[in-house]
């Protein structure tokens, strides 16, 4: 079984809610997700490795220092201002069309600052959000260390997820792009390109944006077609494809056959790389409340086998997956397929 990296710090983010289409709804990205996955891994006999602290080098290789500094201080500043909301939530957004190409001012009002860095209202910041997001980065970097050491595959059992975060903007229940951080860290250690294959049900728009046009990190994403009405809505289309980026949007209702064909295409695209990051969302599974894809547990095992066939040093980073009763077994299936 693939070893996994764990940090209790990842449990400290408890968003409790998301503001979705103007309504406060219960959070889906909850601490119990990570606990459920860990439990299934331990039951499956996987070795747990404690996360080790890492400096900000790999983090700042993929993120704007201003985003990192905002996230580090946002909750303290918000709570000191005694505002009506118990979470940081943006209300006015610094869109590029406002400022004729000029950089927007940094708002004096604490309650306006999130509008410089957030691109949605679903991704709330509260006590422990920064600590958990930073812990998830350490988990991903510890998994990179394991792969750069003796093992060919390691799994980062982390949350909050990261693949929706761009260089300078957070959203989609994500704060820091753990997958991109892992890819940047691997890039510094191998001789040649790194590939990211994202099999979360949603397009990995943040990872795409971070590495777009570079060529040293190949990005492929298999996801529900945003054109059919799914998050992230603005990105994830085939029109964004080039030599280093492959989007494989699928219609709602796609099951194992169509999904695995796309995973095979993503693996072929990734084959020239010298190391692989798998952005593992298990929300493509039938029954997940956040996506209309219909992948089975056997499908996830086969996806693992397809990616394992590449024979590359591989870091698997946890992204989405919201059905608390099945996410643990789905991760175990994928890792079992990978290690086959
Ligand atoms: C990492 C990841 O899987 N992010 C997914 C973000 C997509 N969320 C879209 C939210 C759509 C509305 N969900 C309603 C939930 C009610 N609480
Ligand atoms: Zn997702």
Q: What would the pLDDT profile of 315-324 be if each residue is shown by its tens digit?
A: 999 999 999 9
pLDDT at 63 > cutoff 90 = yes
Distances (CA, A) of 227 to 210, 235, 287: 22, 9, 21
Q: Does residue 150 have a pLDDT over 80?
A: no
- 46-62 pLDDT, tens digit per residue, is 999 999 999 999 999 99
Residue of 33, 228, 290, 321 to mutate, ligand 1, most atoms within 8 A of C-beta = 290
Q: Residues 150-179: what's their mean pLDDT?
A: 97
| Mutation to probe ligand 1, out of 231, 281, 291, 331 (largest number of atoms < 8 A from CB) | 231
Read off the pLDDT band of 149 (50, 70, 90).
confident
77-83 contacts, C-beta under 8 A, 24 or more apart: 77/110, 77/113, 78/110, 78/111, 78/125, 79/127, 80/110, 81/110, 81/111, 83/110, 83/111
**Mean pLDDT score, 219-246:** 98
Catalytic, 203? Answer: no
pLDDT at position 151, please? 78
Pocket lined around ligand 1, Cβ cut-off 6 Å: 18, 20, 25-26, 28, 122, 161, 164, 172-174, 200, 202, 231, 281, 283, 290, 319-320
Q: What is the pLDDT of residue 124?
A: 98
194 alpha carbon – ligand 2 mean position (Å) = 22
Please report how many Cα atoms fall inside a 13 Å half-sphere around the Cα of residue 271, on the Cβ side.
Answer: 9
| Mean pLDDT, residues 289-293 taken together | 98
The mean of the pLDDT values for the chain is: 97
272 alpha carbon to ligand 1 midpoint, in Å? 33
Catalytic residue among 164, 202, 203, 223: 164
Q: Quickly count: other Cβ atoms within 10 Å of residue 23's Cβ.
A: 9
47 alpha carbon, distance to own chain's centre: 23
Percent with pLDDT over 90 in the chain: 98
Cα–Cα distance for residue pair 232/250, rounded to 1 Å: 14
Nearest-ligand number for the alpha carbon of 230: 1
Q: Is the confidence at residue 230, as pLDDT, over 80?
A: yes
CA of 289 to the centre of ligand 2 (A): 10
Q: How far is the CA of 202 from the centre of ligand 1 (A)?
A: 9
| Continuous H helices in the chain | 31-43, 57-62, 65-80, 129-148, 178-187, 205-211, 256-270, 297-308, 327-338
pLDDT confidence bin for 148, thresholds 50/70/90: confident
Please check the confidence at residue 88 and state whether its pLDDT lies above 80: yes
What secondary structure does DSSP assign to 235-267, as a single string? Answer: S--GGG-BTTEEEEEE-TT-BHHHHHHHHHHHH
Band (pLDDT 50/70/90 cuts) for residue 340 is confident
* Residues 304, 340 contacting (CB under 8 angstroms): yes
């Amino acid at each position: 079984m693939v070893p996994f990296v764990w940090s209790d710090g990842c449990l400290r983010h408890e968003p409790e809610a998301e503001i979705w289409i103007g309504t406060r709804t219960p959070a889906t990205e909850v601490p119990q997700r990570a606990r459920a996955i860990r439990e299934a891994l331990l039951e499956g006999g996987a070795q747990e490795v404690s996360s080790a602290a890492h400096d900000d080098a790999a983090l700042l290789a993929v993120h704007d220092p201003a985003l990192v500094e905002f996230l580090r201080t946002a909750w303290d500043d918000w709570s000191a201002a005694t505002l009506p909301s118990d979470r940081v939530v943006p209300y006015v957004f610094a869109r590029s069309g406002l400022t004729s190409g000029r950089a927007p001012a940094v708002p004096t009002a604490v309650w306006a600052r999130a509008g410089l860095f957030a691109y949605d209202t679903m991704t709330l910041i509260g006590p422990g959000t920064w600590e958990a997001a930073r812990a998830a980065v350490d988990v991903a970097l510890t998994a990179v260390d394991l792969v750069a050491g003796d093992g060919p595959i390691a799994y980062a059992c982390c949350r909050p997820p990261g693949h929706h975060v761009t260089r300078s903007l957070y959203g989609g229940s994500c704060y820091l792009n753990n997958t991109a951080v892992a890819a940047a860290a691997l890039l510094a250690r191998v001789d040649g390109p790194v590939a990211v294959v994202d099999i979360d049900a949603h397009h990995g728009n943040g990872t795409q944006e971070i590495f777009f046009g570079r060529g040293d990190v190949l990005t492929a994403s298999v996801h529900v077609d945003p054109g059919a009405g799914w998050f992230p809505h603005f990105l994830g289309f085939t029109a964004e494809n080039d030599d280093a980026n492959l989007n494989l949007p699928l219609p709602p209702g796609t099951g194992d056959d169509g999904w695995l064909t796309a995973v095979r295409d993503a693996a072929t695209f990734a084959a020239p790389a010298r190391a692989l990051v798998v952005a593992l969302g298990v929300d493509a599974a039938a029954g997940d409340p956040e996506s209309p894809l219909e992948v089975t547990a056997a499908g996830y095992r086969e996806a693992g086998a397809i990616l394992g066939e590449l024979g590359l040093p591989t870091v698997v980073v946890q992204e989405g997956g919201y059905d608390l009763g099945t996410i643990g077994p789905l991760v175990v299936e994928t890792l079992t397929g990978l290690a086959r």
